Structures are given as C-alpha cells and as structure tokens.
Copies of this chain bind each other. A is one copy, B any other.
Amino acid sequence: MARKQGSHSDITGPRVRDAALRLIARHGYAAVSMRQIASEVGIQAGALYNYTPDKQTLLFDLMRGHMADLLAALEAADLQGDSLSRLEGFTRFHIRFHLPRPDQVFVSYMELRNLSDENFAAVEAMRRTYEDALESILRAGEAEGVFAVPDPRITTMALIAMLTGISNWYRAGGRLESDKIEAIYWDMVRRAVTA
C-alpha cells in the first residue's frame, strides 16, 4: 500500500484524464491525438499507453467516470422526506454538481456519438439510472396528488435539459451567484410540476 502512495501512476493518471478532458472539450474527440494528450501532460507518447490502452478507452473512462461520480454524489446526497422535498433536493443537487463541471457536461453530451456501441450502452444505462431517480420522485408525487405530471418520463427529460442548460450560459463570477440561480430554477421546477 505504501508503494502506491504517490506512485507515478497515482500522480499521472488524473493528469492524463484532466488533459484529455480539456483537449476533447476544446477540439473534439476525433481531432485530438494520443500524441497531443501526451504532450499536454508532458510525457512521451509511448508512456501514455501505460495509463490507457487507446483513445476510445480514455473517452469511455471520462464519460463513465463522470456518470459514476454523479450517481455516487446523488446517493451521498441521500434525498429524504416527501416528494416535494426530494424534488427540491434533486434540483439543487443537480445544479450544484454540474455547475463546476462545464467541460464534463459538454463532452458527455457531444461525444456520445464517438463511443463504441458497447461503451455507449454502458454510459446510457448509467444516465438512465440517474434519470430514473428523478422520474421516481415525480411518480411518487403524482401518486400523492402533490404533482400533476401527465407524462413523468417526458417531464424528467424536460427538467434535466432545463437544469443542465445552465452550463451553456453560467460563468463563475457572473451576474448571479450559484444560490440565487438555485432559487430561481427551483421555483420554476416546483411550479411546472405541482398540482
């Protein structure tokens, strides 16, 4: 265990992923070479293959890692209470998680087309798990008579698109603080779904 602490792989692995994320977000997967990623990290192109077998695996690791972080953070958020409280919790959680990760949001949406079929299916399944968490809150509220949501699946997609869209215009240090944004969006979400 002591050997792993601060080992070459520990330090360089995250730097490879950071560089790949930054370059792919800026130029697109197809335009970025393993050589460019290695150069950005400051290692030889050959050494990059110690960290990832190929570019497809690197892309998949980025997208799967993003979804795994999201699902783990949602579980840690441990949304409790009635359906309205859980919907508020989900809304605020979604904004807080995505706001500091614009590159991940962009790459996760844009590069789905460049995943192999198998990798696409794996990422889609994780995305579906996340969507299902919101959908189950909406269905519970509908059953309780608190929400009026004629098609919970569509409403799920609509709310996630609305909330994730903040990444298109939000810039840290801009006109609005993150907590003000949360309040405005939660107000819209609540009104859009309550009976």
Residue positions of A touching B, CB distance < 8 A: 26-31, 109-110, 113, 150-151, 154-155, 157-162, 164-166, 168-169, 176, 181, 184-185, 187-189, 191-194
A188 to B27, CA, bound (A): 36
Q: Which of B29, B165, B176 contacts A158 (CB 8 A)?
A: B165
CB neighbours of A166 from chain B (8 A): 157-158, 161
Q: A29-B28, A161-B168, A162-B161 known; A188 and B181 CB under 8 Å?
A: no
CB neighbours of A162 from chain B (8 A): 158-159, 161-162, 165
CB neighbours of A27 from chain B (8 A): 30
Top 6 nearest A-B pairs (CB, nearest first) are A161-B165, A30-B31, A28-B28, A162-B162, A192-B192, A188-B192
